């Protein structure tokens, strides 16, 4: 059975990646999980400098999901390269680094620095974090902003460039197209949905940041729809995510058009989820007499539904 997939020049042993911000820097899980059994580990979002993030409360549980406003707390790129990458190399992980900037120059500088570091396999460009005021999502909410960040980064790196898109736009497919036009090797989607929760007794927002990003199973059907729309708009590979908690969920994203998938919030519920996902995928392939998981990508059959739609 062949579970491997290709994201541009990046070859993954299987389509399952740990999503940014939900798996630390990867090394924290190494005692519990063989990182080589994951398609890739996506790092927590890195800025040039360390950041403290927002004060608590930063996480709130919501029906079928969670709301977070961490504010991109992180150790910064230099400490990541010095302290985390050597261990990740030793562990044999495939490392995708999630980078965040307040300005275009910061993104370019981060891409330059990481391109010279040994053990970095791809860059995921975070132009979609809803929890910071400056930069980031401001780029990801506009066609020009997306195009400019991606094309500037492409000029300074040989690594695959994967902009991560926000769902907080009217037409995510047009943003994916702008990324493709700028030379992106793939796109990943979705980041979290802007959301809010209020404590009715105190009448205060539950998060210190007032608003945050919603993730988990609550967002899955919206994320699947967005992957499906992007698949129709671009030719580059799509990495899908949003509420994946079972093999069936992961397969749904692949059938909608994702070549690979990321698992975020579900890690907080079950850190050992990976073997269950792999086993479930293999069982599906056996049941459907498939030898290559890559053959599943984008195979959603809408033909009969479209006919029903036209005739009703
Ligand atoms: C606590 C937390 C921290 C996150 N941090 C980042 C981050 O640093 N960079 C990023 O691109 N996405 C970040 N995300 C978004 C996830 O990577 C993912 O896009 C989103 O949660 C949807 O997937 P899920 O429903 O499987 O969690 C974070 C999500 C959560 C819940």
Q: Model-level pTM?
A: 0.97
Instruction: For residue 152, name the pLDDT band (cuts at 50, 70, 90).
Output: very high
**For residue 282, pLDDT beyond 60:** yes
Q: Could you tell me the distance, in angstroms and rounded to a whole number, from the CA of residue 22 to the centre of ligand 1?
A: 6
| 22 assigned to active site | no
**For residue 312, pLDDT beyond 60:** no
Judge if the upstream peptide bond of residue 57 is cis by omega within 30 degrees of 0: yes
**Rounded distance, CA 191 to CA 166, Å?**
5
Q: Could you tell me the distance, in angstroms and rounded to a whole number, from the CA of residue 20 to the centre of ligand 1?
A: 5
Residue with CA nearest ligand 1 atom 10: 20
42 lines ligand 1 (CB under 6 A): no
Q: Residue 257's pLDDT is what?
A: 98
**For residue 261, pLDDT beyond 60:** yes
User: Which run of H or of E encompasses 147?
Assistant: helix 143-154
206 lines ligand 1 (CB under 6 A): no
Catalytic residue among 22, 129, 141, 230: 129
- CA 273 distance to own-chain centroid: 17
Q: Could you tell me the distance, in angstroms and rounded to a whole number, from the CA of residue 86 to the centre of ligand 1?
A: 24
For 144-231, strand residue ranges (E) read 161-164, 187-189, 193-196, 198-199, 204-205, 211-215
Average pLDDT, the chain: 95
**For residue 67, pLDDT beyond 70:** yes
Minimal CA–CA distance to 257: which of 161, 175, 173, 191? 173
72 lines ligand 1 (CB under 6 A): yes
In DSSP notation, 250-274 reads HHHHHHHT-SEEEE-THHHH-TTHH
Mean pLDDT of 99-109: 94
Neighbours of 245 (CB within 10 A): 21
164 CA closest ligand 1 atom index? 11
What is the end-to-end Cα distance of the chain in Å, rounded?
A: 42
Mean pLDDT of 227-241: 98
Mean pLDDT of 16-25: 97
Q: Could you tell me the distance, in angstroms and rounded to a whole number, from the CA of residue 49 to the centre of ligand 1?
A: 20
Residue with CA nearest ligand 1 atom 19: 191
């Amino acid at each position: 059975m062949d579970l491997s997939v290709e994201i541009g020049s990046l070859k993954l042993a299987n389509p399952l990646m740990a999503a940014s911000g939900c798996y630390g820097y990867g090394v924290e899980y190494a005692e519990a999980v063989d990182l080589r059994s994951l398609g890739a580990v996506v790092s927590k979002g890195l800025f040039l400098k360390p950041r403290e993030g927002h004060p608590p409360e930063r996480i709130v549980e919501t029906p079928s999901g969670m709301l977070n406003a961490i504010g991109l707390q992180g150790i910064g790129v230099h400490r990541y390269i010095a302290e985390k990458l050597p261990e990740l190399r030793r562990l044999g992980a495939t490392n995708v680094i999630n980078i965040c900037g307040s300005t275009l120059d910061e993104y370019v500088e981060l891409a330059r620095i990481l391109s010279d570091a040994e053990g970095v396999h791809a860059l995921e460009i975070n132009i979609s974090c809803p929890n910071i005021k400056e930069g980031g999502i401001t780029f990801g909410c506009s066609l020009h902003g997306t195009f400019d960040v991606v094309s500037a980064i492409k000029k300074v790196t040989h690594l695959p460039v994967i902009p991560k898109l926000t769902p907080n736009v009217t037409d995510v497919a047009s943003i994916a197209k702008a990324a493709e036009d700028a030379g992106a090797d793939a796109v990943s989607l979705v980041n979290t949905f802007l959301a809010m929760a209020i404590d009715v007794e105190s009448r205060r927002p539950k998060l210190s940041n007032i608003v945050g990003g919603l993730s988990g199973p609550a967002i899955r059907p919206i994320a699947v729809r967005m992957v499906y729309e992007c698949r129709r708009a671009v030719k580059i590979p799509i990495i899908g995510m949003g509420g994946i908690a079972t093999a069936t969920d992961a397969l749904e994203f692949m059938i909608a058009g994702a070549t690979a998938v990321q698992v975020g919030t579900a890690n907080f519920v079950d850190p050992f989820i990976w073997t269950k996902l792999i086993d479930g995928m293999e069982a599906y392939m056996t049941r459907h007499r498939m030898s290559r998981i890559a053959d599943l990508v984008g195979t959603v059959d809408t033909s009969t539904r479209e006919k029903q739609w036209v005739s009703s």
